Every structure is written in structure tokens, then in C-alpha cells.
A and B are shown apart, each in its own frame.
Chain A
Amino acid sequence: MKSTKLGSLTFAVLLAAVACTPGATTPTGAAPTSGGDPTGTAPSGSPDMSPDMSPDISPGGSPDGSPSGEFGTVEVASGQPIKLGTALVITTADADLGTDSQYGAQVAAEIKGQVLGHDIEFVFQDDQCSTEGGTTAAQALVSDPQIVAVIGTSCSSAGIPAAQITSDAGILMVSPSNTAPSLTAPETHEEFYARTAHNDTVQGAAMATFACEELGAETAATVHDGSAYAEQLQQVFADEFVAQCDGRITTQEAVAPTDTDMRTVLTTIAADPPDLLYYPIFTAGGALMTQQARQTSGLEDTDLAGADGMQSPTFLDAAGDAALGVYASGPDLAFAGDFYSETFLPAYEELSGSATPLSVFHAHAFDAANMIFKAIEDSATENADGSLTIDRVALRDAFFAIQGYAGITGTLSCNETGDCADPKISVSVVAPVADAGDACGASTEEVCFQRIWPKE
């Protein structure tokens, strides 16, 4: 009987709560509410719902500045720095991925010094490599009216909500490492979003080419972790593997990002052992997958491969010995010219304290930052008092108009949906540092990702 009472009490409380919610359209006389408006639709005296709740992205301190674009302008006073936000993954097991990009952007600011006579200041946010993290980071940045542009996010799943939030506020966001195709697909592209990382339609195709031409794989299985990045990349790979190589996909499986037990998935895959197992997931899951795949009977002859999300020292640490021989696709870091090795890397090392890069997108972040500087220079108005007026829409248009920009990662040209990269994909294999020598990418003391394809 007690539970019935409790139930009816809860119900009554719920009813009252619904009735009291401002704006809820309760039919008149539904519940005896106290203090609520019986008609439900109360236009009078609700200050927080006033019609002019325009987002405060309009100039922070410009009394007479008439907003020329629909999203207003940013006013940078004389002697004040230009503020850029970052939303990169700087905690969790995937922190290498984001800190690497963050150092890349910082190096760009250091080398550039000043933009139109103003210093550059970063506001660092954490995208946590998740939808929630991306949302929180973007909202924090959008709430600061002085943020001119955002470099981020690291992970595509964070990028999807973040791109929407920044675009709604009219803030240019450039990602150094989002690779999911949907972010720049015409149907789903957000107006103010661009990226300097490759689109995974390129990476998936390159991995498929490598699989059949170099490894001679005829069958392949894929695993993703439900993230936008992994799910889309493995699908591109699977389609290309069938199309290019006439290969057969034995199974496409999925795990959850927090899973520790991959054996059930691996046992299912081992029922029809593939020549190649492609799991473009993140650090922690990738390491577990690697270790457990090595112990699964039936997968002894299967080659293992991941992608750029796994190319970090943390992955090598977490996977231990099992990592040796794992392939990973990712952006090609064999850049033309001396600037990368002679100027960029020493500055990067000074910031990070690590002789080898932490991950693979630092150069993309460097290019992203520099392209933002260029777009500011192209679009901002220098006022007589030394202040700077940056129109948000003009800045976005200037960025999207960049063509043939010579960056570290190649010659970058933006298309109308924000793909600016000059995509070059390479494949690395985990090998002992002693053998790999100069071809080492992300590295621990003993092992590193050694670039092996395409051959020079």
C-alpha cells in the first residue's frame, strides 16, 4: 500500500511541476496549481524570455560600432591581444592527440609574433574527445565575446556539436584533426566550420590500397567504437576495400569506447578469420584490442591496423609488446622543405619537452593557426586609434577564400564546405626504435611508429 501512496504522491508532484513550468501549455483547469498561471501561456512579466535575447557575440566594448555583418564584429582595443580559443582533447587517455595540436598552434603564434600589431592569446578548452566535452568547450568559448576564432576540435564526435554551436554564434572554427567525412559533407556542413586535416574519404581509400597492394589482404574485418570518426572511417575503408581490391569484408563489428573486454568481438571475428583487422579507434580501446587480438585463437595470421587516433606514445605504453607490427594509417609527416625539421620541431620540442611529436596533427594545427592569422589580416579593419575591428562574417569569408596557401602540410585550398587540407596519407608500423631510426613518429623509449608507405 505504501508504494501506491508514494506513486500517487510522485504523480501529483510531477503534475504540479509540469503545471508550474513557465510556457508549458497546460489546458486550463487541469490541475489545481498554486501560484502558476492557469492559462499557461503567460507573456507578461517573464523577463528571462524577453524577445531580444540576441547572443552577446556583438562587440564587447564598442559603443558606436554599427554591426556590419549579421554576427557583429570583435573590437580589439589598442595594445590588447587577439584572443583565439582552442577546444582540443588535453585530458583522458587521448590527451596526446590534443596537446600535440595545442603545441602546434602555440608554435604558430610564437613564430608569427603579432598579427596587425596585436599579440595573440589563447584560451584553452578541453573537448574530452566526446560529444559532451565538445559541447561544453564550445559553449564556454562562445560565451566570451572577444574570441575571434577557435582551433578545434580534436575528435570528430566533439566536433559535430561544437561546429554547430560556434556556427550559430558566427565564430570561425578550424579543426586540425577532425577527419569524419560528415563534418564537411554538403548536407551536414556547418557554415563557420573548416578543417586542415584530411577528410577520411581519403584516409579510408589509402588504407584500402595499402591493404591489398602491400599486405595482399583479400579479406578484412573492421571494428569501430561508435564515435563519428571511427564509424565513418571504417565504413569508407570497407567500401573502398570492396571497390578497389575486390576484397571481401567478413564482418563489421562495434564496441563501446569504455569497453575493456574485446574478446567477445574478437571471437566473433575469428569465426571467419580475416587477413586484416582494421580498428580505427582511440588509444585505450585500441590498445586493449591489440593485446586481446594477439591472444585470440584464430587471429594468429591476421594483420592488425589502426589509424591516426592511435598514433601516440600513450597507445604504445598501453599496448606494450603487443603493439609491435601493428599498422596505422594517418597523415603523412614526410613534409617537403626544411622548415618542419629545422624550425618547427625545435620550437615544438621546447614546449613539449619531447624529442618526437606526441601525435600526428601538430603541423595541421600550425597551418590552421597561420591560416586564421592570414584571414584576420585579409579581413580586419585597422582603426586610427590602433584598435582592430574584425567582422565575423568577413573573417569567415576571408578564410574560406584561401587558395593555394603554402603551409607545412602542403598547399592548402579551402572548398565551400570547409575542406582545406592537402591530404597526404601514409601508413606506419610499430617497430623498435633501434630499427626505425629517423623514420620514427610518435615514440616511447623502445618502440615507435615507423613510416613505411608510400615509399619515397
Chain B
Amino acid sequence: MTGLLATLRLALGGIAYRRSTAVIVLLLAVVASTAAVVAPLYSRAAEESIARGALARSDQFARAVHVDVSTNAALQSAAPQADEAVAIVEEQLRSPAFQRPMVVRATEGLAQPTSGPQASGRVVVPVAERSSLCDHLKVTEGRCPTGADEVAVTTRSLELLGLRVGDHVSLTFPDLANAVSGQRAGTLTVVGSYRPFDLDDPYWLGRQIFGYVPHERPQGLGELPPMSDTLLAGPGFADRVGLPAYALDVPVDPRALDLDSAPVAAAQVAELAKGLGLRGALVTSQLPVLVDRATERSAVVRVAAPLAAVQLVLLAWVILAHVVGSATQERAPELGLAKLRGLSPGRTVRFGLAEVVLLLLVAAPLGTLLGWLVVRLAAEHLFEAGTGVHLTRWVVASVLLGVVGGIGAAAVAAHGVARQHVAELLRRVPGAAAGRRAGVAEGAVLALVVAGVVQLALTRDETPGPVAMAAPGMIALGGALLAARALRLLARRRTVRSLDAGRPAAVLGWAGVLRRAGVARTTGVLTAAIALLLIGVQAWSVASRERAVRATAETGAAVVLDVDATSPTALRDAVRRADPGADAMAVVRLPGGDTNPTVLAVDGTRAAHVLAFGHQRPDHLTAALDPRLPDPLTVRPGVVEVGLQVRSVSSPSPLTASVTVARPTSSTEAPAAAQTPAASSWVELPLGELRAGDRTYRAEVPSWCSDGCRLVGLALQHPGTDIASATADLTVTSIATGPVAQVTPLTTAFDDPHAWRPGVPDLGAALVDVTPGRQLKVTVSAPGGVPARVVHGDAPEPLPGLVAPGTAARDGLVQAVGLDGGLLRVARTSPVAFVPGLGSSGAIVDLDLALRGTARTGNGDLQVWLDRDDPVFERSLTTALRHDGVTVTGRTAAQSEQSALAKDGAVLSLLLFVACGGVALIVSAGAMLVAAFVGGRQRATEAAGLRVVGVRRLVVRRGLLIENLAGVGVALVGGAVAAVVAARVVLPVLPLFDQPSEYVGVSAAPDLPVGLWTLLAVAAVLATLAVVVASGQLRGGTVDRIREGTR
């Protein structure tokens, strides 16, 4: 005991004597312990977070446990009664995640209201009895039902049934237990009313309560009566009406599930299903499947996080060994004394280790606490709420392993020193370091690194994530070994050259590098740390970029606003006015269905700027959406004259011709019908009845065309009462417009095959044939009421569009639902990998062209897409839009998706990866400081000696600067090279997401600016450190240093 105390006293004295070194060793040991704790803690917490997130976001009905006992099953003797079933469930579902089972007994009755809108009619009335109803039902009038014949009814159902609170309602229920009568009558008293509410409360479990349909419901060839919301009955109702069937709902609280308890809970559900299944009850729950999926999602982090942390732990150990080696070298004279006093080699090593062991033992609990705090902090900010950070036995084992590893590393280092001869240990100035030759181990490590890198490069698409996670460490290690060797080679060459050139400062500096093996070791450690940091930062930066790209592409743009506007045209114009800078774009989303794809009609002039195609932006986007078309023809107030040569006309009633114009949105004299979004924006200007012969037809152009009305085309039609079709064969010779006496011909370009086309057949299939030439030949066949149109080519059909590869097409054309609800045909003019916001199925067309080709609008969801998530810009835009009659009703931002992606297991692993690099650099900088402290006395002594023999201070200073900066320079170059290699081979295979996007591609291109800035920052820090160390050594180099007997 006395010996132990004496050893402890000596160790404490030594620590106090070398307090600077001790502090750094302690810090490094704390970091190593922290890393050892963080690895399992973070990994487990991240897994739990992912699992919690997956379970919390699952549908509450899906994850709940449902026990259904049908009428048939309930009538069998084996089936448990509801009370017994509750007891069984409570006994078997013991996990705290399972909440109290709720008994639900529901049926449907038929009411025949005597008043109200359905008086004398029939209304289907669902009635349900739920346990603990009054704890959850908020009654707005009256009270909660407590008797078997009492019900609460929604206010709207009261109206439907013509009831008030206090009334009685008679219902006819099916009596399944009585096969003879089949029906049972019952009268219920309405004791309270309530309003429909949000069913998010787990109590309701998303069960259908509000099925209110106030009118007949079609079913097959017949109709079903209207239906009220569910009447919530008091306890005993089911027994009163003889309802044998029941269901049990067991809500699951995802917050009470963690990695350990979730599989247990799933197993309990399986066991319950097995037991109750034998008695005729059906147990359903998606919980086991959800738990399995959550576990699968955790797999990435389960493997990758420890790998990243293990790199850090190993690096910390290596650095610890290096530091302990340096510190032990500083104690060489003390170890020499021990040997001089006859201590055996083993006892000498133990004496040398005492201080380090003491520091490690102090560091272990400190590191554990720090690691726990770090992960706790991460859990609070990064992980799902409620994620626990538990110090399990694995964590303790990891810490112990870290301590043992640290002591082992220290023992190896101390043994190396203790093995030296006493005389060598007692020397005042240690001898020159023997140049290390690359041993077999070094070569083997490098060969492994090269093999790993080649394998990664060759099997990019097959390499699993964990290998990619481990690869940076391997590459950093290889870089470290090569950098250490390169430094020695460089130093040897520079020393010789400096000697030849007679540069004493350079000789001193480079020879100093050569003499001390520690410099090369520190350089190696620094290289590995810099490489790890650069790779980590690159991985994080690239992952962040790709998350943003993916989130924006999957959302469609940075921000998507749902809006209300009078028409797509009004929306388009309002957006253009509100944002002249083209950062926002009007979009009409035309929903698809089972057979039709969804189509986005976008403001083509802004699409290239706003649509988020990620890395797969198509070429010539604007040109693809809006190809070169004939210029629109415009008519103004006055007349429009059309020259027609009618060769033949046959119609059961007068066939009239008209000029179709599009009414401008700015017009205030528009027909009243045009105020509704679905109203036609095309107006027919009648030319009169079509007659055989060559004549000019004239129509008056209304004054609301003062800003110019686009000429859509010509139309021929006869009244809709005619069954027979009209036919006509004619030639359009001219179209002119202007004031009555000053009409001027329009540039009709009849000879251009793209200038005029037949209109899209409307319902009734009017047929039009157009033949271009000097004059336009037209043949028409149109049933009554259906206009036969000749449309100007500025409104193309089919519309040119960008079509995603997964879109169903026929003869190269995509058929969708247009703005008017009719057929919209889209021709693929340019391939795209996907449609932003839609995915691998869908199409994009130009909104202007879509509007030109349609008479009515009304179909589609109006949206405004923003190219950046800028609150100031968005506020200004929405304000301007509001003034223009466009109101925002909803908002979707890519940032939300990005935040969700940021909780992926892969991202959580990457974060640890970056932390690994950062900590590695801090630790290696610490190692550099220790090496400086330890070697500082020796170097200061040498500097003093040089000064004594007349070497100028400037020369000594330069020499020390070269010696300290050489390693840093080589480490920076080595680290950068290793990082470049790693970026080339690792980034392409690094898992950036748990599940890759189905259509948004990923780019592994490194983020060069971030890399350069990181390297510059690291270089500045390390160079400053080196200069400070060199200055300290120079200051310490006084004559006092070389006084006899001082150490």
C-alpha cells in the first residue's frame, strides 16, 4: 500500500512537473474516450431516431392493433366475449406502447325522418358504441350519452334527420342473431350534439365517423339513401340492440417504442394474433411490418456510424501512442535513472507508464461524460423527439476497450524507450534518430490501401456503403505513411543541397527534420487528420447539395404556392406583373388519373429559370416548350372581313360562319359569363350565313378589342337541333381587319402548312380538312350545334411538350386532360429524365400555348412556383398577387423535404464522419503541440549551443521555422492528395440517402470551393501553430539551458 501511495505521489509529481504535456495527453485521452463512447451511443441513438421517426410518421390506424370478432364468430361458443377479449389483450400486449384497448361496437340503422330535408325519405344512420366515449367527446349542446338508449349526433346530421337535442329517433337495425325476423327496432334519445372534429386524437384511431352524405348515393344501377354521421351511443347500446360483433382497438404510442421494445411489442402482437385467431377473432396490425421496415432503415447507420467512429477511435489511439511515445522519450533520463538503480525492464516500463495510466484513468470518466453530453446534444437537435441516450454495457465495454487500448499504446511506446541502454537514456542530448526504413508492415498497409482503392474504383455501383465509409480512413492512412516517407526523402535531399549551397539556416532546419523521427510521425498523423477532415467536409457538402437538389426537384421548385385566381390567364399575368425578374412562374397542374398522366402547364418564358431539374436539365428548354410558330393575328375594333369562295354548301338549316377571337383578360366589357373560370374566353364574331359563291363576309369587332383580340380562327356551325350534318367546300381568300373604311389584310400565310390547321374535334366530331396554298381550301362536315373550326397555327395541336420517360404514349402522343377538361394531346419535342414535382411520369407544356388552344378553362390546380426560398421575396410577391386578386391557399417548400431527408440514417452517419475529421485535426494539432513541448527543451538546448558558438539568431530562427513548417507543408500536400483520391473513389459510392430517389440523379462532383477554403483554413491554423512553436523554441534557447546538470 505504501509502495502504491509512493508510486501515486511520484506520478502526480511528474504530472505537475510536466503539466503542459500532461494537459495535452489528458485532452487526447479524453477525446479518445469520447470517441469510444460516441461510437456506440451515437450509433444506437441514431438507429433509435430513425426507427422512432418511421414509426411516428406511420399511420396510427396501421400501427394500432385491431381485434375484430364478427357476428358469426361471436355467435360461436369459442369466441371470447368483449370483456374477456379486453382482458386477454391487456395480458398479452404488455409493452407500455400499447394503450388501453377500446371496445367499438358499430352497426347501421335506417331512419325515416318525419321532418327536415329527408322527411318521408330514408336515411342510413351508423351508430357506434365506444368505450370511454365521454372522456373524448366534446359535446356542443346537451351532454354526452351515458345510457344504452342515448346518442350524440353531429349538428349537420341533426339537420339531415330533422332532429333537435332531446328528440327521439326510431331506427331499424339488422338483427343478425335472429334469422327469422332479421330486423329489430329501437328508439334512441338524442342527448347531445357535437361538431365534426379532427380525428387525429389516437382515441378515434382514424376510424370512419363522419360519413355524412346528404343526398342519394349512386351504387351500380340503383341509388342508396343519404347517410348521416355516426351517432355515438352510450354504454350498453350494443347489448340493447343485440349486436354480437365487436372490435377492439389498441392504439400504439410510438414514443414508447425504442429499438429494444419495438421488436418485443411486434412479437407480442404476433403471439396475440395466434392465440385469438384460434378462437375465431381476427387480429390485424401493421406494427410488425413497420418495425421491420424501421429496422431496415436503421441498417445504414448501424454499420456506417460505428465505422466512422472506429476510424476516430483508431486515430485517437495512434495519436495517443505517438504522444505517449514523445512524452516517454522526454522521460528517458528518468527511465535511465530507474535502470541505473537496478529496476528490471518491466518495472522500468511500469514506472514510465504510471503518469499516463493515471491520466487515462482520469480521462475515461471525463470522456464518457463528454461523449454522453455530445450525443445528448445531437439527440436534442438532430434526432427524433424522445430518442434516448443510454449508457449500456456495450458503451462501458467500449470505454474500457478505449482505456486498455490507450494503455496498450502507451506500453508499446514506453517499452520502446525503456529498451534503450542506460547510457543512451542518460545522455544529455539524445542521438540522431535512425532513418526508418519502410518495413514489411508499412508496405503491407499501403498494398491494402491500394487494393481497396482499386476495388472501390472498379465496382462503383456494387460497393456497399460500409466499405465506402471505411475507405477514407484507409486512404488517409496510406497518405500518412507516404507523407512521412516523403518528408524524410525531402529533408535528406534538401540537407545535401543546402550544404552544397552554403545555406546554414536551411541546413539546420532540414537536418533537424532528419534527426527526429518524431517529426515524420507527427507529419503522418497530421496528414491523416487533414485527409479525414477534407474528405468529411466534402462528403457532407456534397450530401447537403444533393439533398437540396433532390428535395427541390421532387417538390418541383424551391417553393410551390397553391393559389386561387379567376383564371390561368389572370394568374399568369398577375405573376408576371408581380415579379418582373422571372423568379416566380404561374403553373396549372392538370391532374391525371389511372389512364392519363398529370401535366404541368407552365409559363414557358420562366420555366428554364424556375423548374428544378437537378443535374438533368434538358437543353433548349424554352425552345422545346415554345417552338417557332406563326405570329398571332390580331383584330381591333372596327370590322373583320373574310373573303370566301364557297363552292358548295349543304345544310339542313342555315350554316353560319364566324370569326373566333380570344377575349383579352383586361377587357371590362366582356360578357357576364366570362367572369367564371369555366366560361369560354373565345367569342364568335358572326360573319353571316354561308352561301355559295365568291363574296366577302364582314363581322363587327367589338370595342373591348381595343387592346387587340387574338384571332383564333374561323368557325362554321348550324343549330344544335339538327341531327343531320352540314357540309361545305370553300376557299378562304383573304382576311382583313380595321376600321370600316380602312381595312387592311392580315398576314395569313395560307401557303404555310403550319399556319392553319383543323380544330380539335369537339364532342359530335365535326370534321374539317385544310389544304394550304395561295388560298386556303377548306372542307367541312359538322353535325348540328358543333362548330367546325379552322384554327390559326399560333395555337398548335398537339402541344409541344417535355415528356418524362415513364409516361404512357400512343403514336408518340400523350393524351391528358386539358385546361377545359377535354382532350389535351402532347407531342414530345424533347426528352427529360423526369418532370419536376411529378417524377418519371408526366409532361410539361407551355401555358400560353395551352391557353391559345382552348376556349374554356376550369380544369387544373393553380399554383405559383418560386425558384428560391426567400421569405422577403415571397412576402413581396404574395402581397402583390393579393392586390391582383390572387390569394395563396397553401404552401409546399423544398426545405421541408430537405429537412426530412436530413434525418436519414446516411446523413446521420455522414455527420459523424465530418465530426471524425474535425476531431482528428484537433487531436493531431494537440499531438503536434506535445511533440513541440517534448522536443522543445532539446531543441532549445541545441539552439542555445548554436548561439554560444556564434551562429546568428536569425539563422537559428530560420532553421527552427523550416524544421517546424516542413512537416506542416508536407502534411497539407499529402492530406490534400489523399482527399482528392478519396473524393474520386469514395464520393460516388458514398450512401447519401437511405433510399435513393426514383428519378432524381445524384452527382458526386466534389465541392471544390469548400475544399479549398477548408484547406486554406487548416493551413493557416497549422502554420500559425508551427510559427508559435518555433518562436518558443528560439526564446528558450538561452545559455542557461546548457548549464551543467539541468534537465
Q: Do A and B come from one complex?
A: no
